A and B are shown apart, each in its own frame.
Chain A
Amino acid sequence: MATEPLPLQKPAAAAPRDAVPATAPRAAPETGPPLVRFDDVVKRYGDHVVLDRLNFSVRRGEHVTLIGPSGSGKTTILRLLMTLEKVSDGVIWVDGSPLSHVAAPDGSLKPASEKHLREARKKIGMVFQQFNLFPNMNVLRNITEAPVNVLGMDRAEAEDRARELLDLVGLSGKIDAHPSQLSGGQQQRVAIARALAMRPEILLLDEVTSALDPELVAGVLDLLSDIARNTDITMVCVTHEMNFARDVSKKVLMFDAGHVVESGPPEKIFSDPEHERTRAFLDAVL
């Protein structure tokens, strides 16, 4: 459970003026222990097997993009990580601890209680395809609600931090606006600011540009590239935007039918894929 404090997890007062302080990239993230590890994870809905003994890991600070055809289980992976769904079998490890299990006295792993899940969720944030801003709160309140009432942050401090984050996402002028008064792209930026306000170690991005009008996509992608460059937040993205996968991520995982077909750096996957399945998929989407 020991967490190494990341710049985004320090109180705002101690952080540099920038909302998301720039940090030198870690020396060799490729060699660190995995921050997230899927260990023979199975997810079934009734008889339908979505993930079939899935194994993969993400190292601290890595930006991983999951690509693959619809229904290949990419979004399910994010939903399992966010504990929105339960694994049918196998274990997900986050920072060395089981995400949704607790060790029983006999050493076996049992499904965890809500209390354990809330502890586990502290490290993880998520941005959704449909933004899911709270329509009963204005922009400021959307961002500060959880820091104040979940993290116990002082309201004034949380509001200062929200202003910094809104500045970062380019929406300083919309602090009092209502979600319904914002465009899709603006709503998604607020949703990103809202997730960052919780200082996650791992940020899950679930097709965050899929619901946006084409002309709004670029702004959100630029913002995410910025965050990827200037923070050491570990990012796991599901996307159909291959440009995003290429620009932001260091590692691309190609999924099909609940398995990792192929993984590697984006240059490799996009220009010289090894598997026929990957090639066919890329031909279809590029």
Chain B
Amino acid sequence: MSDFFSAFLDDLPQLRSGLWVTLQATVLGALAALLLSFALGLMSVGRLLVLRGVSRVVVEFFRGTSLYIQLFWLYYAMPTLTGYELDPLLCGVVAFGLNYGAYGAEVVRGAIGSVPRGQYEAAVALNMSPLHRMRKVILPQAWVQMIPSFTNLLIQLLKCTPLLWLISAADLMTVVQQLRDRTGETLAAYLTLLVIYFVLAYALTLLMNLLERSAKRRLGLHTGAGSLLRSRSATEAVASPAGGAR
């Protein structure tokens, strides 16, 4: 095992760049997913039947096809079809964005639906435009409901980034795999991966909890001590909606 760790220290620059690729794939993939979540989610609650239909089809397609296969399509099949070759990291960002965007769209749709109807009605009674209602009344309240589910999706996305190894992006997984192949230290290599991914996931959880706390405070909801360290599940969030009548 000591062989592995001395090799580990020797390879620190590669590891750092692998970590950087993993972080890029996670953050950029999450941003792409967030954009797509809102685009598809808002389309699905809109008045236009065409947009609702398009959103439904896109969500079902990307939710219902495997992320592996989407990655392979983007990396191996697209070049044969179109002649364009995508950078592996870009493939990852696009595939994560599409796949998690489809899940996220359902989160957005559900959270918008969970805002009490009275809030919408009060906004209508004040003669706000549909866009104004959504921007200033519905979304700020729905956002609080979305964060716990988004946290789950973000962590899942991070944990899917080792798939980049399959399309030879030089992410953390790939670099450590190479290290393992060179040293033969399987146990140490995979232990290292477990620890690093756990640390990353927990750091993301803490960040998202901070975000949730500030969003809740803006709604005047009670945020007790310890809520920062607790990882919340999406179901728990749905059970305590920001009622309009309190």
- Residue in B closest to A143 when the chains form the complex, CB atoms: B126
- Residue in B closest to A127 when the chains form the complex, CB atoms: B125
CB distance from B117 to the nearest CB of A (A): 9
Q: Which residues of B contact A121 (CB under 8 A)?
A: 124-125, 127
Q: Are B220 and A198 in contact (CB under 8 A)?
A: no
A132 to B141 alpha-carbon distance, docked (Å):
13
Interface string of A111-133 (1 = CB under 8 A from B): 00010001001101110101111
A191 to B118 alpha-carbon distance, docked (Å):
12
CB distance from A284 to the nearest CB of B (A): 27
CB distance from A2 to the nearest CB of B (A): 19
A260 within 8 Å of B (CB atoms): no
Q: Which residues of A contact B244 (CB under 8 A)?
A: 130-133, 135
* Residue from the set B126, B130, B218, B242 with the largest chain A CB neighbour count within 10 Å: B126
CB distance from A277 to the nearest CB of B (A): 30
A122 to B126 alpha-carbon distance, docked (Å):
8
Q: Are B125 and A195 in contact (CB under 8 A)?
A: yes
Other-chain contact of B245, A84, A131, A146, A198 (Cβ < 8 Å): A131
Q: Are B125 and A125 in contact (CB under 8 A)?
A: yes
Q: Are A145 and B125 in contact (CB under 8 A)?
A: no
A106 to B76 alpha-carbon distance, docked (Å):
62
B129 within 8 Å of A (CB atoms): yes
Q: Are A132 and B245 in contact (CB under 8 A)?
A: yes
Q: A84-B121, A132-B121 are in contact. Are A149 and B220 (CB under 8 A)?
A: no
A126 to B127 alpha-carbon distance, docked (Å):
11
B16 within 8 Å of A (CB atoms): no
**In the complex, how many residues of chain B place their beta carbon closer than 8 angstroms to a beta carbon of chain A?**
26
A104 within 8 Å of B (CB atoms): no
Interface residues of B in 115-168 (CB under 8 A from A): 116, 118-119, 121-130, 132, 136-137, 140-141
A194 to B119 alpha-carbon distance, docked (Å):
14
A1 within 8 Å of B (CB atoms): no
Q: Which residues of B contact A194 (CB under 8 A)?
A: 126
Which of A24-32, A176-184, A263-271 participates in binding chain B? A176-184
Interface string of A138-150 (1 = CB under 8 A from B): 0000000110011
A146 to B118 alpha-carbon distance, docked (Å):
16
Q: Are A149 and B132 in contact (CB under 8 A)?
A: yes
A242 within 8 Å of B (CB atoms): no
Q: Are A150 and B122 in contact (CB under 8 A)?
A: no
Interface string of A81-118 (1 = CB under 8 A from B): 01110000000000000000000000000000010001
A191 to B245 alpha-carbon distance, docked (Å):
12
A3 within 8 Å of B (CB atoms): no
A77 to B242 alpha-carbon distance, docked (Å):
28
Chain B residues with CB under 8 Å of chain A are: 116, 118-119, 121-130, 132, 136-137, 140-141, 218-221, 242, 244-246
24 A-B pairs (CB sep. < 8 Å): A82-B121, A82-B124, A82-B125, A84-B124, A84-B125, A121-B124, A126-B125, A132-B121, A134-B122, A134-B137, A134-B141, A135-B141, A135-B219, A135-B242, A136-B136, A145-B136, A146-B126, A150-B127, A150-B129, A150-B132, A180-B220, A180-B221, A191-B122, A211-B245
